[in-house]
Structure 1
Amino acid sequence: MSTSKKLLVAAIDFGTTYSGYAFSFKHEYDVDPTKVTSNNWTAGSRGLISFKTPTTVLLDQNKKFHSFGYAAEDKYSDLAEEEEHHGWYYFRRFKMMLFQKKGLKKDIMLKDINDRELPAMLIFSEAIRFLKSHLMDTLDKRATGIQLDDVHWVLTVPAIWDDAAKQFMRVAAEKVLRSVSMMTLEVADGCHSDMKCHRCKFRTFLNYQYEYQKHAGIDTDNLSIALEPEAASLYCKHLPVEKISGCDSQNFSAFSPGSRYLVLDAGGGTVDITVHEVNSNGTLKELQKASGGAWGGTQVDESFRQFLIKIVGANILVAFKDQCTSDYVDMLREFETKKRSVKADTGGKVTIKIPISLKELFEEQTEEDIKECINCTPFAGKVQWVGDKVRIHSDIFKKLFENAAENIVQHVRKLFKEQDLEGTNTILMVGGFSESALLQDRIRQAFPSPAYRVIIPSEAGLAVLKGAVLFGHNPTTIASRVAKYTYGVSTTREFDPATDPSDKKKRYGNMYRCVDVFSRHVQKGQTLVVDEAQTERKYTPVYKDQTAMSFEVFISDDSNPRFVTDHCCQRLGKINVDIPDLTGGLDREVWVKMIFGGTEIKVEAREQRTGKITTARFDFLD
């Protein structure tokens, strides 16, 4: 049964390469959880139909949102054809910034395809707003009667992301709501030049109120964050056997109580890996902290770029991007299609369409024949460039996948050697990159049957998206997780001259205290039960007139760090707890309780004297 209080659950899978949305009604979930509806997207220039659209955002010269996905790609190509793209902002595959950036802040900037910068929060917000508005428009066209307040939203994020990146996504989703709400009030308070009466002003207010309801952002109270491999695991757990490659009805136990399996979520940017065990009641528990790396499909794209550089040179490829932007965009789309279609048993040569403008640019600037230049490279006899087609020997093409595949294989091998994963021999492959026959073949070679079993759902690329909808209906299906780090806060305690270093000694009034103490709340590797407080720590103010306490939150790879300044520690953010009642002076004990079992950290603060409980504010982006 769905535990959601909303009529409909909608999920947005915001991917590195592709994004999309899916939804299901509460009554549908109760009858058949797998009945999840996703949208079909059309690439206008080619008529392609897909369940997701490219994660591409286009803004005009005034930094105003223009389009998203295939529409953004096609519009930018059209502009480039007419040499009118200068001044426009074209962002693609920007999600990886949240994984790669340490010390993430709200005001961080993002570079577009031409290295022009805009606030990252703006671009992420516009992308989420578009997908949300597109979904609401779809529901309107179907005459479902669903309003914004009837929907519970779910955003997917990689499990290997840190807490700051998760908060960034939440703020980006909520930010649009605030900005549009302010715009609505602004218009309501004034009157258009051609509207002189109260009735006209009232009508104007209603019009903008309708736009607010239809196109606002996502209220944070109606938003959940789902971890991608977990979502995929939930979806596959509900699928019938015939929809999962590698399973048969006579010997199917991958999702039965007591079984264990490794979830290999290979997406466009990252590969996200976690290991689940099925509890007796059907819920899932995580056996090991989520891990992975930047080994997704974009690493294959980088290998292709390096392949071209070895033939034409880096300077020519940059000039091609700048001078023939439309052709450059088409080339990227062509390769994205090709890398999904090549099979493991493909022999002979693979043909890729490369705009002839690249060949012409190379020969014009170097005054050399590209065919002769290829003969001077390691690709002699294995690559032919004729007109707008490049014929690549299948072995060379398959090597483009080598780095990504090898990184994945080595990491999975390392995990299977861990003591707490003993007996685990099933690999569940999900994510868009898992649809690659070449990656599937490499995984099966590395983990052959019957010692291992590799299973792949029929819609591996949609498993995360549809599973996120199931998570929104019943998030308690994930019973427990494993702490990726040791979490603690920076605090002070009475200075002990016998054990504490002198540089940690600081005077507060008439007493000396030891500063930068790591007050541990959760230990790395600890099992965290969902919605259960793992620890509760007592803190007191250091000044009598203190009306708030701010705790610096730190993480560590060490199990028990002593000070937050230790080399193994990294600042994550801060918690703010209000203590407005000054009665009691320094004798105002506050118990801080952190709940780590969910996809995001929750904090509660309880004043011991009054018993008052408040939800503390977490800020990882300050």
Structure 2
Amino acid sequence: MFIYISITIWIFNQIMFVDSFIERCNASLLTVKHVSECPTDLTSYERAAKQMNCQNLAIDFTKCKRFQYHCVLSEDLTSLVEVCAPSIGIVGNVCAKFSKSLRSIIRTHYLNCTQCPWWYNSTTAYNYPVCYDINSSQNRITNGLQGSVKKIVNVAVFAVLCILLVIAWCLWWWCREKQRMKRDATDPLVIVAIDLGSSFSGYAYQYTRDNQKEPTKNILLPSWPEKNVNVSKKSISCLLLNPDGSLNSFGFEAVNVNSKMLRDQKKGKFKNETFPSYSSPDCFLFQNYKAILCEKDFEGKTMIRDETGRKELPISTILQESIRYFFVKALENLLEERNIKQEDVYWVLTVPAIWNDSEKQIMEEAAEMAGLPQNSFTLVSAEDAALLFTKEQDLFCKIRDGKEVFVPIDPMKMPTFMVMDLGGGAAKTAVHRGKTVPKKIVMINEACGGSRIDEAFLQILKDVLEDKFDECKRNHPDEILETQEDLERKKKIICDKTPYISIRIPQCIIDIEGYKYKFENSEKYPGLKVVRGKIHIPNVMIRDLYSKVIDEIKRTIYSLVKEDPISVIILVGGFSESNLVFESLKGYYKDIQILRPHESGLSILKGAVMYGFQHLQISEMHSRYCCYSV
């Protein structure tokens, strides 16, 4: 840095930029007096300065700083002048002179001074009497002009060399960064997978060092606190966008923010400093939008209506802001955890297996718009990710030495098997056939999603409370969602022997007059009980809630197995964690092995992380051993 500063000062000196730092003073023009000689020592200088008496002249010099006595060359270098003027620094081994046109002491560019130092104060010019020799000054000017031409040539050559040096440094830096980005893309410090689900979404990550030790272990997922309760390792798929389409919040936070805005709007207290001219209904709230994308083909400009049904935005914007939320959250977490930067991360995004290439391209474009660099991410189908994770789990029971042991499955040894992703919005089923190059047959049935249980439960509340429930849902959606989250937890532990389940009643329903009587005396739903702020739903009614969904799952399986026998069905997805669903399918299909990995609801996310490492390994092998020609 010191070298660069020194070079810059030298160039400024040579190309005469020093004159930009003069001290103009109009009062100096009134003090100019031609003399035959100047002081040559401090004593004579002090005597002349006292006689000139610059500080007490009857002129207005108040606007001039350092108004002091000088004896220097005239502007045309033909005589000597005494003048009262602000002192300046003379730079570059040259003499000083007074310029009437500039109204200031300045350096004499072409008058070299062998006695002068590289820098001195203009008031000390008396120390360099060689500058006062006018006859020799003319010769030195001629020589100085000749020398200046050489200097200009030297400066030009030096400037060209500097420019070439800068260009060379920029090329080196660009090549280094390009190589580093290429290296980071194939050897990141961490892989992060993002799964946008119909009901729940989240991200998982694994550090490269942990993967090298044990690929299926130490795949980490953050906990999502919702009302101070860690519901799961995923957050609810709820996106709140500002009136301009930018990200506001996601998950339970989005529901809370939206509910507060609606209540403040109703009370006349709503205020948004970022968008002062908008009201709360101008924001966009989207839920279960991923399920819509599995039901029909779509384009980037396909419009999706929000929860109000009156506003809509393109699906590309919704995907973009959803990805952005997890992108930012993951980077914040990694930075805090191990000081991981964006360039150290490789990303994997899950997509439904039924999506075509153009729909996958929309997802890729949304990811890039969200901030993911083009070469730093890849896509994987949710079913393939789940299978990748599942085949590493000890699910098959074998008899070895008279003992039961569980071993990982080997898809290559199974002629036909099925991976069924039971999510919140729908059941996505992929049938794998063949040993060497398996072909997939994909089917989606939205009637099999876990959200159907939620809808049936909410229908009970609506049938019992009628219009009061709609009012409660409209004014307090966060409280209704809390009740659904309570149901979500209970859905995983319900089984045939469960006598009843107890679901917390939202406060907005408790505030309804006679709500307890309405539940306990319902003709359509006999057996409901209200105990200490919770509604007890009997086993018979529970099975009725599940029966339609389980029957749809069975019909989906039957439609795929009627042509070719299937030996194994692997259940993944959040709804597969329901014990009632798992037990019902195991009891119904005696000749088919029904397998469910541990934490089956997270198998897609964890499998996507594993896919990221495998994908990079394959890419690195191709780049190392394959050649391409254009």
Question: TM > 0.5 between the two?
Answer: yes
For 1:156, give the aligned amino acid. T
Structure 2 CA distance for partners of 1:475 and 1:61, relative to 1, 3 Å: closer
3-state SS in 2 of match to 1:415 = helix
3-state SS in 2 of match to 1:51 = coil
For 2:222 and 2:328, locate their aligned partners in 1 and report how far apart those are by CA, in whole Å.
Answer: 15
Alignment partner, residue 336 of structure 2:
141
Give the drift of 1:49.
5.5
Structure 2 CA distance for partners of 1:226 and 1:452, relative to 1, 3 Å: same
Does the Cα contact within 8 Å between 1:99 and 1:165 map onto a contact in 2? no
Does the Cα contact within 8 Å between 1:154 and 1:223 map onto a contact in 2? yes
Give the drift of 1:13.
1.0
Gaps of 5+ in 2: 1-182, 271-279, 623-628
The answer on 1:92 being equivalent to 2:245 is no
Alignment partner, residue 425 of structure 2:
269
The answer on 1:174 being equivalent to 2:368 is yes
Percent identity for Structure 1 against Structure 2: 26
The answer on 1:395 being equivalent to 2:540 is yes
For 1:342, give the aligned amino acid. I
Alignment partner, residue 556 of structure 2:
411
Question: Considering only aligned residues, what root-mean-square deviation do their CA atoms show, in Å?
Answer: 3.3
Structure 2 CA distance for partners of 1:115 and 1:473, relative to 1, 3 Å: same
For 2:409, give the aligned amino acid. A
For 1:232, give the aligned amino acid. A
Does the Cα contact within 8 Å between 1:228 and 1:464 map onto a contact in 2? yes
Alignment partner, residue 317 of structure 1:
469
The answer on 1:336 being equivalent to 2:518 is no
Alignment partner, residue 94 of structure 2:
none
For 2:306 and 2:548, locate their aligned partners in 1 and report how far apart those are by CA, in whole Å.
Answer: 26
Structure 2 CA distance for partners of 1:156 and 1:256, relative to 1, 3 Å: closer
Give the drift of 1:12.
0.6
Which of 584, 599, 605 is the aligned partner of 1:442? 584
Post-superposition Cα deviations, 1:248-298, rounded to whole Å, max 9, x if no partner, equal 76475731642243211111112111233685xxxx743441223112111
Does the Cα contact within 8 Å between 2:205 and 2:221 map onto a contact in 1? no
Post-superposition Cα deviations, 1:548-593, rounded to whole Å, max 9, x if no partner, equal xxxxxxxxxxxxxxxxxxxxxxxxxxxxxxxxxxxxxxxxxxxxxx
Alignment partner, residue 495 of structure 1:
none
For 1:41 and 1:369, locate their aligned partners in 2 and report how far apart those are by CA, in whole Å.
Answer: 35
Q: Which is greater in Rg?
A: 2
Give the drift of 1:398.
2.6
Give the drift of 1:53.
1.3
3-state SS in 1 of match to 2:419 = strand
Q: How does 1:27-42 map to 2 (within 5 A)?
A: 27-42=209-224
Give the drift of 1:156.
0.6
Does the Cα contact within 8 Å between 2:284 and 2:311 map onto a contact in 1? yes
Structure 2 CA distance for partners of 1:74 and 1:285, relative to 1, 3 Å: farther
Does the Cα contact within 8 Å between 1:4 and 1:474 map onto a contact in 2? no
Q: How does 1:97-176 map to 2 (within 5 A)?
A: 97-112=292-307, 115-144=310-339, 146-176=340-370
Alignment partner, residue 219 of structure 1:
373
Does the Cα contact within 8 Å between 1:156 and 1:226 map onto a contact in 2? yes
Structure 2 CA distance for partners of 1:387 and 1:236, relative to 1, 3 Å: closer
For 1:460 and 1:25, locate their aligned partners in 2 and report how far apart those are by CA, in whole Å.
Answer: 22
Structure 2 CA distance for partners of 1:398 and 1:418, relative to 1, 3 Å: same
Q: How does 1:503-522 map to 2 (within 5 A)?
A: none
Which of 397, 401, 410 is the aligned partner of 1:255? 410
For 2:230, give the aligned amino acid. L
For 2:187, give the aligned amino acid. K
The answer on 1:231 being equivalent to 2:426 is no
Structure 2 CA distance for partners of 1:412 and 1:238, relative to 1, 3 Å: same
Does the Cα contact within 8 Å between 1:110 and 1:120 map onto a contact in 2? no
Q: Give structure 1 regions of 4+ aligned residues with deviation exceeding 6 angstroms.
A: 245-248
For 1:455, give the aligned amino acid. L
Structure 2 CA distance for partners of 1:477 and 1:232, relative to 1, 3 Å: farther
Gaps of 5+ in 1: 177-216, 479-530, 532-611, 614-622
Moved more, 11-20 or 21-30: 21-30
Post-superposition Cα deviations, 1:314-339, rounded to whole Å, max 9, x if no partner, equal x4433222233343333333322332
Post-superposition Cα deviations, 1:24-58, rounded to whole Å, max 9, x if no partner, equal 34444343221353222232423325311111222
For 1:218 and 1:247, locate their aligned partners in 2 and report how far apart those are by CA, in whole Å.
Answer: 45
Structure 2 CA distance for partners of 1:113 and 1:433, relative to 1, 3 Å: farther
Does the Cα contact within 8 Å between 1:353 and 1:390 map onto a contact in 2? yes
For 2:479, give the aligned amino acid. D
3-state SS in 1 of match to 2:555 = helix
For 2:519 and 2:497, locate their aligned partners in 1 and report how far apart those are by CA, in whole Å.
Answer: 30
Alignment partner, residue 483 of structure 1:
none
Structure 2 CA distance for partners of 1:327 and 1:20, relative to 1, 3 Å: closer
For 1:120, give the aligned amino acid. I
The answer on 1:52 being equivalent to 2:234 is yes
Does the Cα contact within 8 Å between 1:247 and 1:455 map onto a contact in 2? no
Structure 2 CA distance for partners of 1:475 and 1:396, relative to 1, 3 Å: same
Structure 2 CA distance for partners of 1:268 and 1:113, relative to 1, 3 Å: farther
For 1:306 and 1:463, locate their aligned partners in 2 and report how far apart those are by CA, in whole Å.
Answer: 31
Structure with more strand by fraction: 1
The answer on 1:18 being equivalent to 2:18 is no
Structure 2 CA distance for partners of 1:452 and 1:65, relative to 1, 3 Å: same
Structure 2 CA distance for partners of 1:396 and 1:11, relative to 1, 3 Å: same
Structure 2 CA distance for partners of 1:401 and 1:247, relative to 1, 3 Å: farther
For 2:372 and 2:529, locate their aligned partners in 1 and report how far apart those are by CA, in whole Å.
Answer: 51
What's the TM-score, normalizing by structure 1?
0.61
3-state SS in 1 of match to 2:391 = helix
Give the drift of 1:392.
1.3
Alignment partner, residue 517 of structure 2:
371
For 2:327 and 2:384, locate their aligned partners in 1 and report how far apart those are by CA, in whole Å.
Answer: 22
Alignment partner, residue 305 of structure 1:
458
Give the drift of 1:303.
1.6
Structure 2 CA distance for partners of 1:436 and 1:36, relative to 1, 3 Å: same
Does the Cα contact within 8 Å between 1:33 and 1:238 map onto a contact in 2? no
For 2:252, give the aligned amino acid. Y
Does the Cα contact within 8 Å between 2:237 and 2:251 map onto a contact in 1? yes
Give the drift of 1:443.
1.1
Structure 2 CA distance for partners of 1:56 and 1:373, relative to 1, 3 Å: closer
For 1:95 and 1:474, locate their aligned partners in 2 and report how far apart those are by CA, in whole Å.
Answer: 27
Does the Cα contact within 8 Å between 1:272 and 1:293 map onto a contact in 2? yes
3-state SS in 2 of match to 1:377 = coil
Alignment partner, residue 353 of structure 1:
504
For 2:480, give the aligned amino acid. Y
Structure 2 CA distance for partners of 1:343 and 1:425, relative to 1, 3 Å: same
Higher RCO (CA 8 Å, separation ≥ 6 residues)? 1
For 2:475, give the aligned amino acid. Q
For 1:5, give the aligned amino acid. T
For 2:367 and 2:616, locate their aligned partners in 1 and report how far apart those are by CA, in whole Å.
Answer: 23
Does the Cα contact within 8 Å between 2:198 and 2:288 map onto a contact in 1? yes
Give the drift of 1:301.
1.5
For 2:383, give the aligned amino acid. P
Post-superposition Cα deviations, 1:486-539, rounded to whole Å, max 9, x if no partner, equal xxxxxxxxxxxxxxxxxxxxxxxxxxxxxxxxxxxxxxxxxxxxx9xxxxxxxx
Q: How many residues are paired up?
A: 420
Q: How does 1:200-211 map to 2 (within 5 A)?
A: none
Does the Cα contact within 8 Å between 1:36 and 1:469 map onto a contact in 2? no
Does the Cα contact within 8 Å between 2:529 and 2:536 map onto a contact in 1? yes
Structure 2 CA distance for partners of 1:477 and 1:285, relative to 1, 3 Å: farther
Which of 231, 254, 260 is the aligned partner of 1:72? 254
Alignment partner, residue 77 of structure 2:
none
For 2:559, give the aligned amino acid. K
